Amino acid sequence: GQQVMQIPQYQHVQEGEDFTTYCNSSTTLSNIQWYKQRPGGHPVFLIQLVKSGEVKKQKRLTFQFGEAKKNSSLHITATQTTDVGTYFCAGPTGTASKLTFGTGTRLQVTL
């Protein structure tokens, strides 16, 4: 079945450093979604990318969808302690209404 892997599994940065998580799918995706889960919280939708090569920005966060639509990345510029959490990518499986979530990247930011 479809697999969605993320690397790294965990990253610890100093506040102000940049951070990137990478998402790779075993199959071509029609779109990819990104979610953030704060410690003790639930996943919250961040963004959806649909087009090959698409780049979207949300303040300090930059999301990219690969040309082959099999990979994606999330880059955070100048991390802040509010960025702490686990970031998941997710892509549709089979029917469009079912998602396969990546394994997640847990980000820790210290002062």
Name the residues that contact other proteins, by CB under 8 A. Answer: 1, 6, 9, 30-31, 33, 41-45, 48, 88, 90, 92, 95-104
Q: What are phi and psi of 25, to 5 degrees?
A: -105, 150
What are the φ and ψ backbone dihedral angles of 82, each rounded to 5 degrees?
Answer: -70, -10
Tell me the closest approach of the beta carbon of residue 28 to other proteins, in angstroms.
15
Q: Which residues contact 59 (CB under 8 A, 6 or more apart)?
A: none
- CA–CA distance, 110 with 105 (Å, rounded to integer): 16
Cβ proximity to other proteins: between 11 and 92 the closer is 92
Closest distance of CB 16 from other proteins, Å: 28
Find residue 89's DSSP bridge partners. 34
Q: How far is the CB of 54 from other proteins (least distance, A)?
A: 14
Say if CB 49 and CB 57 are below 8 A apart: no
Nearer to other proteins, 82 or 95 (CB): 95
Task: Name the residue nearer to other proteins (CB basis): 64 or 100.
Answer: 100
Report the nearest approach of other proteins to the CB of residue 84 (Å).
16
